[in-house]
Structure 1
Amino acid sequence: MKSVLLLTSLLLGLAACKKDQPNVELVQNMMDSPAFEEQDFDPEANDGRSMRVPPEHTVARNNPRYKYAKQPELAKAMPNPFKDKIDLEKGKDKFETYCMVCHGQTGKGDGTVAEYMALKPPSLVSDKIKGWTDGEIYHIIAAGRGLMGSYASQIRHEDRWHIVNYVRELQKKDSGN
């Protein structure tokens, strides 16, 4: 008898549910938090700003802050932490994603976008760039130089080093070594 009563009440409860009515939200204060548009005024904030500055000494996760952005001389001496753990497949993948459109598949500055540029990107397999340190190439990826902007927000720290190692591999192939 109890099971029949339980089954009947369960079926009646399910029959009362309608698809055109929203579910009941028991904890609404977490689900309907107000979102501000950029540059909106926040009446609750002391300064009225809706965009918050991260707390002092906050460290970004998974992508450390690049401390040599304004110091290219110091970046030249930066050691390559992946020199012994070279992952050419990852370097090639990231190079083809971010660099190849300008620098070309072989790194000679003949990418598909380069033909439309007044100032062509440099050849990464030239003697000049072969003479650069790994830290210098990393710095240019992270901070940019000339017409090339910074890729710090698009390419993760480790992947920049994999690109550096892949560029070194392109240079070896170009030299015939």
Structure 2
Amino acid sequence: MTLRFSDDGPAFPNDLVDRMLDGDVVFLCGAGVSAPQLPTFGELVDQIYQSIGVEPTTAESFAIKKHGRYEEALGAVARRLVNPARIYDEAAGILARPNVDLAHHRTLLRLSRARDNSLLLVTTNFDGLFERALDASEGPGRGKTSSLAGQALPPPGTDTCQGIIHLHGRIRDAEAGLEATPLVLTSAD
């Protein structure tokens, strides 16, 4: 028997399920976890262009449409702006949603346990939704104490490598008590 999260979802190999149950699997979660409530990275880039009121240049459009190189396009548009930090502010504003369904986040948090049952989940998401889900299931403040981003990232494979690890930084989330860290949005970042 194989594991499926939904009738039309993928079947996970038994070996993978066994290794997950043994605590040998690390989940790397991207924007799809929060979709459709929050935009995917490509949708975020489109919304940033709209909110700053500029059209992509031919080169930026080519990078996006032909190669899916959103980070290159954002870097190029940032160089065209008087205030390049505006793209980071716009991204944070777009992703700051007060009310979202955290069911997927709670499920992944339950599955993301190391051998010693400590939490270990790696995400490229900027939002604090995993932290909010952890607060909801384990009590207020648990998400904040488990959240690592920016300069607080632990060395991989060490005893301190546990919690919710934001590889690309994190936006401020007042509900979860999280402060912002620098974001990795462009290829230059």
Q: Which has the higher strand share?
A: 2
**Alignment TM-score > 0.5, same fold:** no
TM-score by length of 2: 0.23
TM-score by length of 1: 0.24
